[in-house]
Structure 1
Amino acid sequence: MADEPRARPVSRAADVEPLGPGSLTWKYFGDWRGVLLAPWAGAMQNMHPGLGAGVAGHSRFFEERWQRLFRSLYPIGGVVYDGPGAAETARQVRGYHDAIKGVDDRGRPYHALDPDTFYWAHSTFFMLTLLVADRFGPGLSEAEKSRLFDEHVTWWRLYGMSTRPVPESWPGFLAYWDRMASEVLEDNQPARDVLDIRRIARPPALSWMPHLVWRALRGPQARFTVWFTVGLFPPAVRERLGYRWTVRDERRLRRIGRAVHHVWRLVPFRFRYHPRARAGWEREAGRRSADAPRVESPERYAPLPDERDSPKHYAPPGGWRAGRRQQ
């Protein structure tokens, strides 16, 4: 059968040339618009049986949603934007997942570093990048989508993982994505919990906002976020989760996407990117020293106090106060 996943030669992560500012991945992955798709990525990831089991058994994500989201952006973004240090960042990210393993409630063993499971998470980050550009940006040609696919393979190889799950081409990836959506992903509690944001806490960045105001905004925001997220799901996933999506819904979502694109063009370049991504752009432009300390997550995004020393959590070198000083 054409475009079946086949093994590529395995290279050491240190031998992989990292992505750079000429790549489409640099242009779109660290863009703040990606945060709009965070619930989409979380639900898609958690519907994978092994990944969902790992979240259910080892994560306290739902007790610290905002903190987990924003601190994760630093090391994950670093695999793209850290230049010569990208392979080391990838090794660290991989290490956070080493102890996440067990047996789920149906007796199935899982491990976060199983190549199929880890690649599924990686594939959602690739598709998030593509959706930002295609649905909330200028749009992408098929040639550009294929180019993004090739870049995501380079990104994957930085982890030093097996290339066995990786499709050979962009058409092969589309077949993989459709098969995962229709045959592998499950309706499970971790995915449902991602979509249940009716009582989500106030974001740390909005600590100045009175709680009463946040509670008034939270309901409409939650309903819009779920609608927006459902619109980006593959049809098979919407059907499995029991959501309905109409032609009218699709037209409305596309109008919103065009509006986001046009408004975003007015945002100054340096404010479009997450701090770790922005540091990469500044380094490549010569405005930041190549040996400057990496930009790390501030303390407000630290894990819960009794979790801070766990090896499964990212932590800045020297601790969270050091991370705050580097902002």
Structure 2
Amino acid sequence: MSQDTSDACPATSEGAPGATGCPVTRGTYDAPPAALGPDSLTWKYFGDWRGLLQGPWAGSMQNMHPQLGAAVEEHSIFFMERLPRLLRSLYPIGGVVFDGERAPMTGAEVRDYHIPIKGVDAQGRRYSALNPDVFYWAHSTFFMGTILTAEHFGGGLTEDEKRQLFDEHVTWYRMYGMSMRPVPASWEEFKVYWDHMCRNVLENNYATREVLDLSTMPKHPSLQWIPDFLWSAYLKVLGPFAVWITVGLYDQPVRDLMGYSWSKRDERLHRLFGRSVNLAFKLLPTRRRMHPRARAGWDRATGRIPVDAPLVHTPSRNLPPVGERDNGIHYLGAACPVQKTQSA
């Protein structure tokens, strides 16, 4: 049975400021919303390098959604270029939080990459990346990923802090100009939503299993100097360890869905690993803990660089293959005309 796509963005001329493609439709904002700033908990917890530890968790959780998994399987080249895709995506995704007054434009940019992604999956179910339920599910994994990173690899969170992060994630989501219909009204309602998704909606599908299989992950372009046999040996160690970290972040219904066991010993070791990460992370200089897009946001907010300084974009080594750059679904760094406008 096809999921409802009635709130997906229709083709009209009403767009977000500076955006093309998918418009800001009924139920979204009439004017660009106020962006999050350095006084928010999201700025404190989102955008540091510890977030990479929950990367396979976020990717797999997103792909477990039937529509999103079908879209990745049929449209994405992620499995051909995992590391460049991951590393370049951090720039616009982080920009929706850290770009200040330009954050709504960055959100519209991210949203518009999803316009062509639609179709019918192998079971005859229609899917669209701009179905509000699908788009919000992806966003909810960024929000929960922030909470999990703070809980498992940071100093932990209180319930009041989780409520504040929930309220901030609503502000964050408004940057995309999407329908707010799927967004729960409170942190308590979100927990009910999340549990429902984990128990009743998510599925064990090809795209999810592939995210968790690192055995054939291609080398990043900057790592081509590593001999193939050493890379293969590295993946044999990294793969199971990354899956173990990921399984420790799953809710129990998701572990059951994917067929993973989790013992009390696993839980103790996972917590010990998380505490070790947090202690080691505190030894780094504050600015070096941050992704470049987040660091630039803090630098603008603290006066280190001008507030209208050009946005930081991914290095060219992370760009998609040349033959894939014209289909409109990829972030292209400073090479994209829209992004040049933002950076001006």
What SS class does the counterpart of residue 312 from structure 2 fall into? coil
Q: CA deviation at 1:207?
A: 4.5
Q: Is the 8 A contact 1:13 1:158 kept in 2?
A: no
Question: Any residues of structure 2 matched to 1:197-212 within 5 Å, and which?
Answer: 197-212=214-229
Q: CA deviation at 1:206?
A: 4.0
What SS class does the counterpart of residue 127 from structure 2 fall into? strand
Is residue 106 of structure 1 aligned with residue 113 of structure 2?
Answer: no
What SS class does the counterpart of residue 15 from structure 1 fall into? coil
- What do the CA deviations read for 1:161-181 (whole angstroms, capped 9, x no partner)? 111111111111111000000
**Residue of 254, 277, 281 corresponding to 2:271:** 254
What SS class does the counterpart of residue 334 from structure 2 fall into? coil
Q: Is the 8 A contact 2:28 2:180 kept in 1?
A: no
Is residue 293 of structure 1 aligned with residue 320 of structure 2?
Answer: no
Q: CA deviation at 1:216?
A: 2.0
Gaps of 5+ in 1: 1-8
Structure 1 Cα separation of the partners of residues 47 and 76 of structure 2: 24
**Residue of 156, 179, 182 corresponding to 1:162:** 179
Match of 2:287 in 1: 270
Q: CA deviation at 1:288?
A: 1.1
Match of 1:137 in 2: 154
Is residue 232 of structure 1 aligned with residue 241 of structure 2?
Answer: no
Match of 2:195 in 1: 178
What SS class does the counterpart of residue 102 from structure 1 fall into? strand
Given the superposition, is the C-alpha separation of residues 94 and 319 from structure 1 closer, same or farther in structure 2, using an over 3 Å criterion?
closer
Q: Is the 8 A contact 1:12 1:160 kept in 2?
A: yes
Match of 1:71 in 2: 88
What SS class does the counterpart of residue 300 from structure 2 fall into? helix
Structure 2 Cα separation of the partners of residues 14 and 309 of structure 1: 30
**Residue of 296, 302, 315 corresponding to 1:279:** 296
Match of 2:319 in 1: 302
Q: Is the 8 A contact 1:18 1:84 kept in 2?
A: yes
What SS class does the counterpart of residue 122 from structure 2 fall into? coil
Aligned residues: 316
Is residue 27 of structure 1 aligned with residue 44 of structure 2?
Answer: yes
Q: CA deviation at 1:310?
A: 1.8
Structure 1 Cα separation of the partners of residues 205 and 30 of structure 2: 34
Q: Is the 8 A contact 1:14 1:158 kept in 2?
A: no
Match of 1:59 in 2: 76
Q: CA deviation at 1:29?
A: 1.2
Structure 1 Cα separation of the partners of residues 211 and 221 of structure 2: 18
Match of 2:332 in 1: 315
- What do the CA deviations read for 1:261-280 (whole angstroms, capped 9, x no partner)? 11111110111111111110
State the AA in 2 paired with 1:59: S
State the AA in 2 paired with 1:278: R
So what's the TM-score if we normalise by structure 2? 0.88
More displaced 10-residue stretch of structure 1: 145-154 or 303-312:
303-312
Q: CA deviation at 1:209?
A: 3.8
For the aligned residue pairs, the C-alpha RMSD in angstroms reads 1.9
State the AA in 1 paired with 2:259: G
Q: CA deviation at 1:160?
A: 1.2
Structure 2 Cα separation of the partners of residues 260 and 277 of structure 1: 20
Structure 2 Cα separation of the partners of residues 13 and 212 of structure 1: 56
Match of 2:110 in 1: 93
What SS class does the counterpart of residue 191 from structure 2 fall into? helix
Structure 1 Cα separation of the partners of residues 30 and 107 of structure 2: 9
What SS class does the counterpart of residue 333 from structure 2 fall into? coil
Q: CA deviation at 1:198?
A: 1.2
Gaps of 5+ in 2: 1-25
Q: Is the 8 A contact 1:48 1:117 kept in 2?
A: yes
More displaced 10-residue stretch of structure 1: 102-111 or 184-193:
102-111
Q: CA deviation at 1:208?
A: 4.9
What SS class does the counterpart of residue 110 from structure 1 fall into? strand
- What do the CA deviations read for 1:91-111 (whole angstroms, capped 9, x no partner)? 000000011001111111110
So what's the TM-score if we normalise by structure 1? 0.93
**Residue of 18, 21, 27 corresponding to 2:35:** 18
Structure 2 Cα separation of the partners of residues 317 and 43 of structure 1: 29
Structure 2 Cα separation of the partners of residues 297 and 13 of structure 1: 31
Q: CA deviation at 1:24?
A: 1.1
State the AA in 2 paired with 1:283: R
Structure 2 Cα separation of the partners of residues 11 and 60 of structure 1: 31
Instruction: Percent identity, please.
Output: 55
Match of 1:50 in 2: 67
What SS class does the counterpart of residue 265 from structure 2 fall into? helix
